[in-house]
Chains A and B, each alone.
Chain A
Amino acid sequence: MVERSIVFAVAYGLVILHDWIFIKSNMGKKERGVRYALLLIAIYMGFDYVTASDFYDLYDFVEFFLREPGTAIVNILTK
């Protein structure tokens, strides 16, 4: 858990450092909102990674819709 925390902290810290150096402070409200939303998603995924909790992620969502039809198509093509 310590190792994972360090990895996430380094990755997130690099983004914050980049913002501090390169991103102008006079960003519009919309730009600020979008950045914060993306960073919030990153915190959710980071927490999943650090705690090894297997939260719901993109592939769980995609598999929910496409696993069965995808498997059926592959079965038709392999039989």
Chain B
Amino acid sequence: MNRLQTISYRQMSILFFIFMTGSSSINIPGPLISKSDNAAWLSILIAGGLGLCMLACMLFLQRQYPDMTYVEYSQTLIGTWPTVILSIGALAFIWHTESGIILDISLFMVSSMQRESPLYIYSLLISIVSALAVRAGLEVMTRMFILIMIPVAFSIAWVLLMAIPTYSPESLLPIMPNGIKPILNGAYTAFGFPYAEVFLFAMLLKFTNQGQGSKLTRAMILSLLINIIVLCATTVCTIMAYGPLAGTTKYTLYMIARNIEFQEIITRIESIIGFALISASFMKASITLYVFSLFVTQLLKLNDYRLVVTPLALLGFLLTLVGYDSITQWGNISVGMIQPLWVWVSLAFPMLLLTLVAYFKKGNLQG
């Protein structure tokens, strides 16, 4: 039950790619284009750069403390009580992320495919399956998710390729008609979701097989770079397909799939994107719940993370029911005004602080 589960550096990097790309490729383009217009892909590049900086901090700390998770080396570097204080914001954000992913699936299903069904049905089912996946352990989850990700990635790529006849490259111009502020606004939002969530893997990097440190570094950076390219490509394709209307719809990849028509045989294939979103979001919710359970377990020095999986999954489900009072409030929280600042305060600041402390401690030891 308490055997340390490890995975290879390749599996870790693929898990990272799944986590970062899965649901964001479907959710991000629409809201981002509404903020940055045709320069949304530039916003992704800037936010991705910030995500790379955060990843660099995590990998530096991982090299210093290869047998520790974020909570463990935080306790070593700054002490137990400062770690607890800094972790309050991070735990709250991870809880919000877990419920947000589950709520996103439910809102998608209710708004796009099954309008008469209540939200709680999908939230409850996803929560149950995620909890069972997390209980199975990291090794089982990783092997399963790699298999699921193959058809998800294929279906997204296929939809983008099949939609080529609908693209208008002239819609990409002009790029910066209103100056640089919309790009910065988009970058600020995109860092809030998904790039700051890189932080969650600070709890998982310890579970890579021993002696694969340098290979892990290269693989993780490559995963994030591929994620940035995929998100940029999805956003650019969305702009080309919808032009000025690209920022008005939320699930743009779903809408693109709706418009595909090939020889009057292949039509209305949006259910493929529905499957891709649900699968990808389920994987991301499971990884988030796993990190949440591990974080709580290590912070409170419990024996086994499995003891808290089901209560935390229940809390995530309940937050989807009572957390937000209106769609407008949810929009403001999730991608609008609050989440981008929340991640800076609860994730980026602690990570930077620990990196600086570790850097100066390392300098003192060498000096």
Contact = CB atoms under 8 A, between A and B. Distances in A.
Interface of A: 7-8, 10-12, 14-15, 18-19, 22-23, 27-28, 30-31, 34-35, 38-39, 41-42, 45-46, 48-49, 54-55, 57-59, 61-63, 66-67, 69-71, 73-74, 77-79
Tell me the dominant secondary structure on chain B's binding face: helix
Contact of B120 (A7, A19, A78): A7
A34 B314 contact: no
Contacts of A11: 124, 127, 314, 317-318
Nearest to A14: B128
Nearest to B121: A7
Tell me the dominant secondary structure on chain A's binding face: helix
Contacts of A10: 124
A67 B341 CA distance: 9
A58 B124 contact: no
B293 to A, nearest CB: 11
Interface in B293-342: 296, 300-304, 306-308, 310-315, 317-319, 321-325, 329, 333, 336-338, 340-342
The 3 closest A-B pairs by CB, nearest first: A38-B311, A77-B185, A70-B337
Contacts of A58: 92, 95-96, 319, 323
A51 B135 CA distance: 32
B323 A57 contact: yes
13 contacts: A7-B321, A15-B314, A31-B303, A35-B311, A39-B314, A42-B315, A45-B315, A58-B92, A70-B342, A74-B337, A77-B184, A77-B188, A78-B182
Contact of A77 (B92, B181, B311, B317): B181
B310 A18 contact: yes
